[in-house]
A and B are shown apart, each in its own frame.
Chain A
Amino acid sequence: MSQKKKHVYRLCPCDICDIESIQSWLEDMAAQGLFLTQESAFCGFFTFEKDSPRKVLYRLDVAQKQKPRFFAGRSDLTEDEIEAYKAMGWEYLFLYGDFRIYRSISPNVPELNTENQTHALTVGYLKRSYRKSFILVALLVLFWLLHAGSALSYAYMNILIAGPFFAVCVYCFLLLATFKTFARLRKLRRFEKQLLDGVGLHNYIDWKNQVFSSYFLRVVPVVLCCGLAISLMTTWLRSSEKIPLDAYPEEPPFATMADTFPDAVSMESHVWLDYGTAVILENPLATNIEWNENCDITTADGENYHCIFLLDYHEVKNEWLAKGLEKDYYIYDSHRFSKKRFQDQDVPDLGIDSVRVYNCYGSLYVLMRQDNRVAHAVVHLDNRTDQNQWLLWAKAMAQMMR
């Protein structure tokens, strides 16, 4: 009766394009009594079976068909090919990334690739595929850089609200992807050159030299992914912590609806979806407050208003960032709506650094900046013709910001 052998999992210490190092590592594992099984591999983890140590040859060959990046597969070769490889002494194990892995227990078996030029053909296919990937990634980085430098990227808005950590993670991720693809492309070019020069690939090399760079290039993307996920999760979780306006812990540092209608007889706020709530988002570069009011107002002269008032208030680390944010808000609003509907208003001097007022689709937008503080407010009144009320808010807000 056959005894079930113990399975051991090991993370491959070499980059997948490091053909020579992976072959050598697998042969060293066999010499320690760990034999690669056919049920490998997941995210770089290979499955080994424990047995008594013996010499086993492993070879990696470029697969020109399917490329499952994370999971192993056996569908790449036809049954005819698998049989033919077996008849010639090589057992096909599995497909991982761009490579097929084979093993042979016979030390005198003819090599898997017996002709360097033909071998160079397959390495060349892969090299060209990596070259395409590299061009794509490099274009993406270039586009991202140009886009980030352009006003339309709303970089200040994204970085100041989502937090600098998120932006740094995205940037590092793109740079790392470019570097990794380039490093693999260089490696494949070296292999191709070796083969065309008639040197061939080495069957055994000291793979331990590659371990640090390989782990580094694997760990960093994982850390960056975690960073991205954490920063997104925290932003999402914190933005879902909505505080009802009447439970807001302290006096807000900006003017609210109550300041706009000082003579209001009654002001009834309703909580509905995001309305009637506030959200505080803090990050190392800015403190952001989203204030959403939705209220029915009755004034002393008997006028009734239904008012929606949305305010984004930012206390930014420095004035330079605040200026950028102010610019982003204006570009964002002016591009979001049709030019016909967007109308800049004349603004009286309110005695602060910058004020802009514009109408879009019947709503009024006010954008203000004083030193490092930026306020962006949208108001929608039932009585659309009465915009003088809005000037009251702007004056009250300007007074607070001064």
Chain B
Amino acid sequence: MPRKAMDSLTEAMFYVLMSFSRGNMSGIDIAEDIVRRTNGRLHIGPATLYTILGKFEKEKYIQEILVEGRKRTYQITPKGRSAYHDELIRLQRCIEDAESAKGGYL
């Protein structure tokens, strides 16, 4: 595990970015999307979710585009999309490496 946070995207961060594949999202939409997408395997606590959203906003991975009453809607930025794809490639390589290691002592 990295000793310093944000060296790479964490699982929750990755899923938060992934949830934007459905379009613009609010905080509660993201939480629901992740539970649905992972069939209940991953629940994101509200503090974790809003810390990630705050961090992403600061890093310009997402931006707030709409405030409707109490609901705030965010949109992923090209920088956020690029961070998501970089992480996806890294994870795919991990899987490929793991696949090639099959048949040994594992």
Q: Identify the A interface with B (CB < 8 A).
A: 59, 61, 64, 78-85, 87-88, 90, 110-115, 117-122, 124, 196-198
7 CB contacts below 8 A, A to B, read A61-B47, A80-B26, A80-B67, A87-B28, A112-B48, A118-B10, A196-B5
- C-alpha gap A59/B44 in the complex (Å): 16
Report the 10 A-B pairs with minimum CB-CB distance, sorted nearest first.
Answer: A114-B45, A79-B70, A110-B43, A112-B47, A85-B46, A84-B27, A121-B5, A80-B72, A88-B46, A115-B12
CB A121 to nearest CB in B, in angstroms, measures 4
Q: Which B residues from 3 to 22 make CB contacts under 8 A with A?
A: 3-6, 10-13
State whether A84 touches B10 (Cβ < 8 A): no
CB B60 to nearest CB in A, in angstroms, measures 17
State whether A113 touches B28 (Cβ < 8 A): no
Chain B count of residues within 8 A CB distance of the other chain: 31
Of A78, A82, A84, A114, the most chain B CB neighbours within 10 A belong to: A84
Instruction: Knowing A64-B54, A80-B70, A84-B31 are in contact, say whether A120-B47 is a contact too (CB < 8 A).
Output: no
CB B10 to nearest CB in A, in angstroms, measures 5
- C-alpha gap A14/B96 in the complex (Å): 50
Q: B85 in the interface, Cβ–Cβ < 8 Å?
A: no
Residues of A within 8 A of B79 (CB): none
Instruction: Knowing A83-B70, A84-B27 are in contact, say whether A114-B5 is a contact too (CB < 8 A).
Output: no
Residues of B within 8 A of A110 (CB): 43-45
- Given A118-B48, A119-B51, 14 more pairs with CB closer than 8 A: A78-B70, A78-B72, A83-B28, A84-B31, A85-B46, A88-B31, A110-B43, A110-B44, A112-B45, A112-B46, A114-B44, A115-B11, A118-B52, A121-B55
CB B83 to nearest CB in A, in angstroms, measures 15
A80 is contacted by which of B5, B11, B27, B43 (Cβ under 8 Å)? Answer: B27
CB B17 to nearest CB in A, in angstroms, measures 13
* A to B contact number (C-beta, < 8 Å): 87
Q: B37 in the interface, Cβ–Cβ < 8 Å?
A: no
- C-alpha gap A111/B69 in the complex (Å): 27
Residues of B within 8 A of A88 (CB): 28, 31, 45-46
Q: Which B residues from 46 to 70 make CB contacts under 8 A with A?
A: 46-52, 54-55, 67, 69-70
State whether B31 touches A80 (Cβ < 8 A): no
CB B44 to nearest CB in A, in angstroms, measures 6
Residues of A within 8 A of B11 (CB): 115
- C-alpha gap A122/B5 in the complex (Å): 10
Residues of B within 8 A of A87 (CB): 28, 31
- C-alpha gap A113/B5 in the complex (Å): 15
CB A197 to nearest CB in B, in angstroms, measures 8
- C-alpha gap A118/B51 in the complex (Å): 7
State whether A118 touches B12 (Cβ < 8 A): yes
State whether A119 touches B47 (Cβ < 8 A): yes
Residues of B within 8 A of A196 (CB): 1, 3-5
CB B81 to nearest CB in A, in angstroms, measures 21
Residues of B within 8 A of A64 (CB): 54
Residues of A within 8 A of B2 (CB): 117
- C-alpha gap A84/B11 in the complex (Å): 21
Q: Please name the residue on chain A nearest to B45 by beta carbon.
A: A114
Residues of A within 8 A of B43 (CB): 110, 114
Residues of A within 8 A of B1 (CB): 117, 196-198
CB B40 to nearest CB in A, in angstroms, measures 11
Residues of B within 8 A of A124 (CB): 5
Residues of B within 8 A of A79 (CB): 69-70
Residues of A within 8 A of B44 (CB): 110, 114-115
- C-alpha gap A87/B35 in the complex (Å): 14
Residues of B within 8 A of A84 (CB): 26-28, 31, 46, 49-50
Q: Which B residues from 63 to 102 make CB contacts under 8 A with A?
A: 67, 69-72
Residues of A within 8 A of B52 (CB): 118
CB A103 to nearest CB in B, in angstroms, measures 13
- C-alpha gap A11/B35 in the complex (Å): 40
Residues of B within 8 A of A81 (CB): 27, 46, 50
